Amino acid sequence: MASIKSLLKQTPRYATLPEAAEYCRSSRRSLERRIAEGKLTRFRNGFRVLVDLNEIDALLRGDGR
């Protein structure tokens, strides 16, 4: 049986760009640059742009794309 910690790592956690910027203490523009560079994946939910916080965690750890 998988542990809760490993399940949380695998489960996408989505946030809007302003929420994600606050989460990683960065600017929205910095996140937009990472999306343009292909380092973050952008998801659309209607008019909202979302990013996966697990990808941001990976970038901050240095093991992102």
Q: Residue 63 has what pLDDT?
A: 78
Q: Residue 25 has what pLDDT?
A: 95
Q: Where are the alpha helices (DSSP H) in the chain?
A: 4-10, 17-23, 28-36, 53-61
The pTM for the full model equals 0.75
Q: Which amino acid, residue 8?
A: L
Low-confidence ranges of the chain (pLDDT < 50): none
Q: Residue 13 has what pLDDT?
A: 87
Ordered by start, the domain boundaries in the chain are 4-61
Q: Residue 62 has what pLDDT?
A: 86
Q: Residue 37 has what pLDDT?
A: 95
Q: Residue 64 has what pLDDT?
A: 60
